[in-house]
Amino acid sequence: MEKLARLVSSGQGSQKGPHGLRHHSCSVVGPFAVLFGGETLTRARDTICNDLYIYDTRTSPPLWFHFPCADRGMKRMGHRTCLWNDQLYLVGGFGEDGRTASPQVCILDFLI
């Protein structure tokens, strides 16, 4: 939770959350909802994303924070994230092309 709190304190929050996103993952970490990846329906190309969204419920009204990821290898849809021993893991799903299965398990520590 400390890492997420530090990350959102460095960003600019908005009341507008991600729109047109499906097949993403969501993990609840204390007062934060952490969304990662998925397929965006708002673009005609490059629809698989590797963006991190954090919903911070500590404020009123709650705020969304968006953190793009530059590593194209982290693009996923249909995957899962899970919190285990204070680490956020990215498991499975389909990669950048939306068709090739991604068997690797990654730690999203570089994001948070």
Q: What are the sequence ranges of the domains in the chain? A: 1-109
Tell the burial category of 34 from Cβ atoms under 10 Å away from its Cβ (0-12, 13-18, 19+): buried
Averaged over successive runs of 10 residues, the pLDDT of the chain (112 residues) comes to 89 91 94 94 84 95 92 90 89 92 82 51
Q: Does CATH number 1.10.3720.10 belong to domain 1-109?
A: no
Give the pLDDT confidence score for residue 80 in this predicted structure. 94
